[in-house]
Homo-oligomer: A and B are copies of this chain.
Amino acid sequence: MSTSPRRRPGRPTGSDGSARAAIASAARRQFSAHGFDGPSLRGIAVEAGVDPSLVKHHFGDKQRLFLTVVDLPVDYEVLLPRLLDGPDSGIGARLASTVAGLFSDEETRSRLLGLLRAASSHAEAAAVLRERITDGLLEPLAASLGRDEPRLRAAMVMSQVVGMAVARHIVELEPLAEADAEEVARLLAPVLQHYLTADLFAGAAPTVAKP
């Protein structure tokens, strides 16, 4: 566990903020590219240019490291009022723009895709997605709009947003993979609007009464 064989000139090796940041950055990149199972603590330490013991020192085990570095950089107390600021008829467009913007930011996209990949095999990552995004943001958003079934509406929004992320960035389905954020926002807007404010079920009345 000596640091010398893996130490590189100019890379952080001490138990300070720069080593922690280097580990977090390497971990985020590797989890985003390979999901939860692929990366090893040793491989992350090598990429960060630090001794593997420092990974454990700063982050504990692999699961704690994962949940720390993929935490979502979204401040709901700012985001929710901003989404609600405007007519209900524009909520789909505002949410779609916000989602497309989050996925345009490389760092945020990397965290979200890391979570998504990990959620496919790890219940803890799936729970983070459910709690932080659906329970923490989408359901309060749907509830604020005052329609019936806010939980179901939040889940449908989540399903389309997750599906768009998988299609564009994981399955790399054209022409979505090459579409820009503005086009993605325009494609999502009417459907997110439908899920948040329309009658959810086909065959029922085509419009829903506003409360």
Contact = CB atoms under 8 A, between A and B. Distances in A.
Interface of A: 34-35, 37-38, 92-93, 96, 116-117, 119-121, 126, 129-130, 134, 151-152, 155-156, 158-164, 166-168, 170-176, 186-187, 189-191, 193-195, 198, 200-203
B126 A172 contact: yes
Most B CB atoms within 10 A — which of A155, A187, A189?
A: A155
Q: Give how many copies assemble into the complex.
A: 2
Contacts of A170: 119-120, 126
A155 B126 contact: no
15 contacts: A35-B120, A37-B38, A117-B121, A119-B170, A130-B172, A134-B173, A151-B174, A155-B167, A156-B187, A158-B167, A186-B201, A186-B203, A190-B194, A190-B202, A191-B195
A151 B175 contact: yes
Nearest to A198: B190
Contact of A159 (B160, B190, B193): B160
A116 B121 contact: no
Contact of A163 (B38, B162, B174): B162
Given A158-B167, A161-B163, A186-B203, 8 more contacts: A38-B121, A93-B202, A151-B174, A155-B167, A155-B176, A158-B171, A160-B163, A163-B163
Contacts of A158: 163, 167, 171, 173
A126 B171 contact: yes
Contact of A162 (B134, B156, B166, B172): B166
A20 B22 CA distance: 48
A172 B131 CA distance: 12
A159 B172 CA distance: 11
3 A-B pairs with the lowest CB-CB distances in the bound complex, closest first: A163-B163, A189-B202, A159-B167
A152 B166 contact: no
